[in-house]
């Protein structure tokens, strides 16, 4: 079985080259060819000896994801559905802007955390993605967008920022996500700065502490509620790691972070978490943490049970935060016409949790207990 070099970082590539009797500099050459040129054919690697190229062709491969669907929104946002095998496919989104291009990467096929307002959580969970499947999303997007030339020539990058905000909870796939991010940061691979790689978490506190020590990148935390009672409903992992513990972990993280603040993400849900009183409570909740608050309009998906907050309510909520001298912005919704906006990524998940089946069974039971007038007739 051939080794997929796409998923090997510098240490692993160095060890692999040593097994072949090659010097460590060969790993650097391979990193350049794979991640800065997007090569898949060992034959084009002209600074590597012919003998090694022939051996690599027999024993190794550079295998990226298979694209199932490529969709472009009216605003230029682009979404790829990528086959990761065993009946699963994940989604990756590129968001072009005037001053930057951001790639949103998935870390799992589905998600086990089941946040109530998230389409990914509704799909259930199958497995963690491998390093090759995670970094392969960036590798593929650069290839598809013609970005490798800009990397090599030092021009403005087409993909300047990466956010681990796609399908899945990144910190629940800690080792593979960290290995992939190290490739993103490696100057011989993608050479992104830690400030331009952001990981978003629902709040796995022990893993946040591990990330601080292993690979501190910019951090975003999915908060979505000003108190434990409401967050328990919206983000169930809060029952294990309540807000007080989460905020303490944020303060610890900042000690080694590339930014002197964390970003709190807050999806605004009509009549659920968007009142002025809740905005004031949020001010008190986060006052001990250097932070920026990113308010996110809810992006609907079928049978979500939630609605987007009205624009007036969102403005009132933001104004309370601004008057308290917090940095607060409202995220512009991008790609919602192709279900590529925040919270809409669903992909295709062979659900091991049987979440959809359990949900349907509960709904059927509720209908039986409380029949509608039509069912009575």
* 198 lies in the same domain as 294: yes
* 15 lies in the same domain as 98: no
* 119 lies in the same domain as 35: no
Long-range contacts of 15-18 (CB under 8 A, 24+ apart): 16/60
* 43 lies in the same domain as 78: no
Q: Consecutive 10-residue runs of the chain (377 residues): their mean pLDDT? A: 94 97 96 96 96 96 93 90 92 92 96 88 90 97 82 72 96 98 97 97 98 98 98 97 98 97 97 98 98 93 89 97 97 64 65 71 59 43
What pLDDT, on the 0 to 100 scale, is given for residue 360?
61
Place of tokens 């000896």: 49
Number of H helices, E strands in the chain: 14, 14
Cβ 83 vs Cβ 70: under 8 Å = no
Asked if the structure places residue 36 within a domain, the reply is: yes
- Return the biggest CA–CA distance within the chain: 80
Tell me the pTM. 0.91
* 28 lies in the same domain as 97: no
Given the residues 17, 104, 115, 342, the one annotated as active site: 342
* 185 lies in the same domain as 331: yes
What is the C-alpha to C-alpha distance for residues 138 and 63, in angstroms, rounded to an integer?
A: 13
* 139 lies in the same domain as 228: yes
Cβ 42 vs Cβ 57: under 8 Å = yes
Dihedrals φ, ψ of 23, to 5°?
Answer: -75, 160
* 46 lies in the same domain as 172: no
What pLDDT, on the 0 to 100 scale, is given for residue 376?
37
220's enclosing H/E stretch is: strand 218-222
Asked if the structure places residue 244 within a domain, the reply is: yes
3-class secondary-structure state, position 113: coil
Asked if the structure places residue 304 within a domain, the reply is: yes
Q: Count of residues for the chain?
A: 377
* 41 lies in the same domain as 148: no
Asked if the structure places residue 375 within a domain, the reply is: no
Q: Tell me whether residue 59 is one of the annotated catalytic residues.
A: no
Asked if the structure places residue 373 within a domain, the reply is: no
Asked if the structure places residue 156 within a domain, the reply is: yes
Owning domain of residue 144: 66-360
The CATH number of the domain holding residue 136 is: 3.20.20.70
| Radius of gyration in angstroms for the set of CA atoms belonging to the chain, rounded to a whole number | 22
Pairing of strands 108-110, 197-201: unpaired
Give the list of residues 6+ apart from residue 6 with CB closer than 8 angstroms, or none.
34, 62, 63, 64, 132, 135, 136, 139
Cβ 149 vs Cβ 155: under 8 Å = yes
Please state, as a whole number, how many other Cβ atoms lie within 10 Å of the Cβ of residue 235: 25
* 75 lies in the same domain as 223: yes
What is the C-alpha to C-alpha distance for residues 342 and 13, in angstroms, rounded to an integer?
A: 35
pLDDT digits (tens, 9 = 90+) for 70-93: 999 888 899 999 999 888 999 999
Of 30, 61, 92, which closes a domain? 61
| CA distance readout (Å), 135 to 64, 211, 267 | 9, 18, 27
The CATH number of the domain holding residue 31 is: 1.10.150.530
Angle at 164 between CA 354 and CA 245, to 5 degrees: 80
In DSSP terms, which residues pair with 164 in a beta bridge? 199
* 132 lies in the same domain as 170: yes
Asked if the structure places residue 369 within a domain, the reply is: no
Q: Tell me whether residue 91 is one of the annotated catalytic residues.
A: yes
Overall number of domains in the chain: 2
Given the residues 17, 22, 91, 115, the one annotated as active site: 91
What is the C-alpha to C-alpha distance for residues 322 and 164, in angstroms, rounded to an integer?
A: 27
Q: With b meaning 16 or more CB within 10 Å and e meaning fewer, what string describes 349-359?
A: bbbebebeeee
pLDDT digits (tens, 9 = 90+) for 250-270: 999 999 999 999 999 999 999
Please state, for a pLDDT cut of 90, what percent of the chain lies above it. Answer: 76
* 14 lies in the same domain as 106: no
Asked if the structure places residue 145 within a domain, the reply is: yes
Which residue in 121, 219, 238, 116 sits closest to 169, CA to CA?
121
What pLDDT, on the 0 to 100 scale, is given for residue 274?
97
């Amino acid at each position: 079985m051939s080794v997929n070099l796409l998923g090997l970082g510098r240490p692993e590539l160095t060890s692999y080259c040593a097994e072949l009797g090659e010097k460590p500099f060969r790993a650097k050459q391979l990193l350049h060819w794979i991640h800065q040129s997007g090569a898949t054919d060992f034959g084009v690697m002209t600074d590597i000896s012919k003998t090694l190229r022939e051996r690599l062709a027999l024993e190794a491969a550079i295998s990226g994801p298979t694209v199932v669907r490529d969709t472009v929104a009216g605003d230029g946002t682009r979404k790829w559905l990528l086959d990761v095998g065993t009946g699963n496919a994940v989604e990756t989104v590129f968001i072009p802007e005037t001053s930057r291009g951001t790639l949103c990467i998935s870390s799992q096929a589905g998600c086990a955390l089941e946040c109530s307002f998230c389409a990914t959580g509704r799909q259930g969970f199958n497995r963690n993605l491998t390093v090759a499947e995670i970094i392969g999303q960036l590798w593929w997007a650069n290839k598809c967008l013609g970005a490798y030339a800009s990397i090599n020539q030092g021009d403005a990058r087409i993909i300047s920022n990466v956010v681990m905000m796609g399908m899945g909870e990144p910190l629940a796939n800690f080792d593979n996500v960290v290995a992939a991010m190290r490739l993103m940061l490696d100057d011989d691979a993608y050479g992104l700065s830690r400030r331009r790689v952001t990981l978003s978490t629902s709040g796995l506190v022990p893993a946040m502490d591990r990330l601080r020590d292993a690979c501190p990148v910019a951090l975003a935390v999915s908060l979505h509620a000003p108190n434990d009672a409401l967050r328990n409903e919206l983000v169930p992992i809060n029952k294990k790691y309540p807000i007080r513990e989460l905020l303490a972990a944020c303060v610890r993280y900042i000690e080694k972070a590339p930014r002197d603040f964390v970003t709190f993400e807050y999806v605004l849900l009509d009549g659920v978490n968007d009142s002025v009183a809740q905005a004031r409570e949020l001010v008190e909740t986060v006052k001990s943490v250097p932070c920026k608050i990113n308010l996110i309009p809810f992006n609907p998906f079928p049978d979500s049970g939630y609605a987007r907050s009205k624009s007036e309510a969102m403005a009132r909520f933001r104004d309370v935060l601004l008057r308290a001298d917090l940095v607060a912005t409202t995220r512009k919704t991008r790609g919602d016409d192709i279900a590529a906006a925040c919270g809409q990524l669903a992909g295709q998940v062979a659900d091991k949790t049987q979440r959809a089946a359990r949900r349907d069974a509960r709904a059927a039971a509720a209908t039986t207990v409380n029949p509608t007038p039509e069912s009575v007739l």
